[in-house]
Amino acid sequence: MLLQGKRIIIGICGSIAAYKIASLTRLLVKKGVGVQIIMTPESKEFITPLTLAALSKNPVLSDYYNPQNGEWHNHVELGLKADLLLIAPASANTLSKMAQGACDNLLLATYLSARCPVFFAPAMDLDMWKHPTTQANVAKLISYGNKVISPGTGELASGLVGEGRLAEPEEILEFIVDFFSNSLPLKGKKALVTAGPTYEAIDPVRFIGNHSSGKMGYAIAEQLKRLGATVTLISGPTSLPKPAGVTTIPVLSAQQMFDNCKEYFPEADILVMSAAVADYTPLEVATQKIKKITEDFTIQLKKTNDILAFLGAQKQKKQTVVGFALETNNELENAKNKLIRKNLDFIVLNSMQDQGAGFGSDTNKITIISKNNQESKYQLKSKTEVAKDICRHIIEHQNFINS
């Protein structure tokens, strides 16, 4: 999940160690990474572009343009879109050019255009690696903010034994995972998310419920996990698969959701209460199925615990609490009142009047209202993208209260 959707450029230089990039590419693709490979002209003597294209599932680039159809390989766009540029194996020749700002191939042009983090993994013979010029180039690249994946020690292609071997694919992968893990904005934070409906039993076969699918809450839980948080998801009944890496606690009733929220909330830094919790529950639950005998039938109801109000009253300074308001009329007024009454930091308003928003759909249209009465309106978009919008507000608030 950590690397899912990341875009990584691998720049391959002329080195016998280029064969290791086939294994690395496969490892990254299996993690859900979009891999774009750029090869220097010399590197194609050591491993074929066809092999790497098949493994990466993307055409391999080497020239500024495709001479057959004139398609331009925009190095600026490549550098801007990537989440990471990894140059591996990085030859002594390419390290020298990078340090001096030379630009005589597509890889070097992309490097000079990149705004993303740059890693380089050197591979060369022992004496070349130890040479003062090489060490000076490495030091200069590090001073520019680039990160080195140090070469290993072992038998080299020359037959010598020493430092200079390209790090193994698994070691490079671990380096990448550690980097993204440590740079995540919610790393070390605990998040509690509620999702889905609650079912309030009438008898052993019937219940009072609602049409919530849980999709919004699940998308938020997944996004918080991607951002580094340790996430606990308390979920009412849904048909959705459990999000990977998220602790999911299934519940049925409002009382069960209340009990679990009380248990996990004190340790949480973040609460997102997106569940559609029933406001009322039957005063008594029949032990046997109720038969259809009378013309009229009345069920006496009682209020359920107001989970969000209870937790809002317990809120600590370090916590960010987000509620939801699904309204059918007086939307803004009702949402703002709920924000104040329940001591929330944000409330997410969505209206039943907006087509494509609300229960069951894969899209949503929201307005996020903050405690200081700021309104952020968003257009209709997928619930995955909506979750990202909500999480951006959470990150900003966490940074503010912890600054």
CA-based nearest residue to 11, from 108, 151, 93, 138: 108
Residue type, 240: L
Long-range contacts of 388-391, Cβ-Cβ distance < 8 Å, separation of 24 or more: 388/223, 390/220, 390/223, 390/272, 390/322, 390/346, 390/348, 390/366, 391/186, 391/220, 391/223, 391/224, 391/227
DSSP 121-133: EE---HHHHHSHH
Residue 166: CB partners within 8 Å, gap ≥ 6?
A: 15, 17, 20, 88, 89, 121, 122, 123, 151, 152
Burial class (CB in 10 A: 0-12, 13-18, 19+), 244: exposed
* Residues 349 and 365: beta-carbon distance below 8 Å: no
Report how far residue 83's alpha carbon sits from residue 10's, in angstroms, rounded to the nearest whole number.
11
* DSSP-assigned letter for residue 210: -
Count of positions (residues) in the chain = 403
Alpha-helix runs per DSSP H in 186-319: 215-226, 254-264, 307-314
Q: Give the whole-angstrom CA distance, residue 30 versus residue 24.
A: 10
End-to-end CA distance of the chain: 29
Selecting among 58, 74, 93, 210, the annotated active-site residue is 210
Count helices and strands in the chain by DSSP H and E runs? 13, 21
What are phi and psi for residue 93, nearest 5 degrees?
-65, -50
- 210 flagged as catalytic: yes
Catalytic residues: 210
